[in-house]
Amino acid sequence: VQLVESGGGLVQAGGSLRLSCAASGFTFGDYAIGWFRQATGKPREGVSCIAITDSSTYYADSVKGRFTVSSDSAKSTVYLQMNNLKPEDTAVYYCVADPHRLSIRTMCRHSASFRSWGQGTQVTVSS
């Protein structure tokens, strides 16, 4: 399993970024794929996940209405569109993947649900 993130960077508050996660080495359609983030000094947080099997999605309360997760099976890629970014969104964002075994809400609320992690991409939102 290989997960390669891209799209992080520095943006002003209120701005937008789109993260991409290019996946390979597994059957894309059988998996749940998502995004966790970790800010300095804080625990990891499940931000948003999507089950490729049934297109079900999950969003943390902190990002609902601002972030949108989507997938492109032809490209084996998952995207996270982040709008109206806030300084508290500053973190390293990790793409995660695992076979879809539980509800997407359950999986995305527990980092241990995902055994495959990307290298992470930094998102910094300035005020």
pLDDT digits 0-9 by tens, 75-106: 999 999 999 999 999 999 999 999 999 999 99
Q: What would the mean pLDDT of 25-44 be, rounded to a whole number?
A: 97
- 26 neighbors 52 (Cβ within 8 angstroms): no
Q: What would the mean pLDDT of 106-121 be, rounded to a whole number?
A: 98
Q: What value does the mean pLDDT of the chain take?
A: 97
